[in-house]
Amino acid sequence: MVMFWVSLLAISVLLYVLLDGVDLGVGLLFGLARGDARRGAMLSSVAPIWDGNETWLVVTAVILWGAFPIVYANLLSAFYLPLIAMLLGLILRGVAFEFRYKTQRLRWIWDLSFAGGSLIATFIQGLTVGALVEGLPFTNGQYSGGEVGWLTPFAVLCGIGLCLGYALLGACWLIRKCEGEVRDVARRQIPVLAVGVLAFLVIVFAYALAENLPILQRWIDRPYLFVFPAIGAISATVLALSILNHNDYLPFHMVALIFMSAFGTLALSFWPYMIPSVITVDQAAAPQSSLVFMFWGCGAIVFPLMLIYTLVSYSVFRGKVRPGGRYGH
């Protein structure tokens, strides 16, 4: 049961990153867009699916709370302030999405709120991952870093890097879903964003070497981890070729594959720890009876239904956004 819930947690996190990363990325690019028609087309590309995407964040939190309560408690203690900021950003973004459709005079406020909420949520997510990779201060299994123990240059760098990554994912989504000017602008943005992501990876690797982060030792102990960067490199090559050939569908799949390879690298670098060098999977797991009880509700019913709902929604709303289409209700 422990491995079942670890696997379900990994799938939930990955689905959240890929799916909500799309509309967060579109939100980041939305702040750079000019013209109401162009912004409307960008919102139309994510309107049918954005709120469903965020549900996977709730699933992740529920699995942590029920199956791995020690990790849930420690992460909340460590990241209380940034997680509140992230949730406020997501709320602001959702409100702005609906309100901008209802107003004309104050639309600029909600446009700014939508882009700002996307930026806050994305940056906090990257910052959180960066702080975990670098390592948090713990004493006797309890977080001891204070209110801002997570705030380090490396964590800030990871926040910026995820902003670039989500923006790249969002640009590839716009190519897949839109036509005309929106698609053409997104295609021009992809090379810039891809170079930014590459520069981020080089800087992070150099920082990890300079600081001798513990995660590097795992690469030495587990050479099979180099398979994931190889997959990422091949995907990046195909991405570049698809952009040169003006392919509308391959770029999104290639960037999604890059994200999956990065996630696989990170997850296996952490293993068997859930909080690196502090709490292992077995130490974090709830009693067997709790895991079995959760299985019959969340694992056997809710999770499969959510997967089916996601597949159906993306299937129903496949294809290009119609020019002049409205995203509102």
CATH of the domain at 75: 1.20.1630
- pLDDT at residue 33, rounded to an integer: 86
Q: Which of 38-42, 140-144, 169-173 has the highest mean pLDDT?
A: 169-173
Residue 325 domain-assigned (yes or no)? no
pLDDT tier, 326 (very low <50, low <70, confident <90, very high otherwise): low
pLDDT tier, 329 (very low <50, low <70, confident <90, very high otherwise): very low
Residue 64 domain-assigned (yes or no)? yes
Residue 326 domain-assigned (yes or no)? no
The pLDDT of residue 269 is above 70: yes
pLDDT tier, 85 (very low <50, low <70, confident <90, very high otherwise): very high
Q: Please state the domain count of the chain.
A: 1
Residue 298 domain-assigned (yes or no)? yes
- pLDDT at residue 97, rounded to an integer: 85
Q: What angle do CA 239, 311, 240 make, to 5 degrees?
A: 0
Of 97, 22, 98, residue with least CA distance to 56: 22
Residue 167 domain-assigned (yes or no)? yes
What does the pLDDT average to over 285-299? 87
Residue 301 domain-assigned (yes or no)? yes
- pLDDT at residue 256, rounded to an integer: 93
The pLDDT of residue 106 is above 90: no
What does the pLDDT average to over 281-300? 87
- 5-44 pLDDT, tens per residue? 999 999 999 999 999 999 999 999 998 888 888 888 889 8
Q: Which residue has the tokens 């952009």?
A: 243
Distances in whole angstroms, Cα of residue 63 to Cα of each of 5, 198, 279: 7, 33, 16
Residue 324 domain-assigned (yes or no)? no
- pLDDT at residue 148, rounded to an integer: 83
pLDDT tier, 323 (very low <50, low <70, confident <90, very high otherwise): low
Q: Which domain holds residue 294?
A: 2-316
What does the pLDDT average to over 173-178? 92
Residues with Cβ within 8 Å of 141's Cβ and at least 6 positions away in sequence, in order, are: 70, 74, 278, 279
The pLDDT of residue 159 is above 80: yes
Task: Kindly state the percentage of the chain with pLDDT values over 70.
Answer: 95
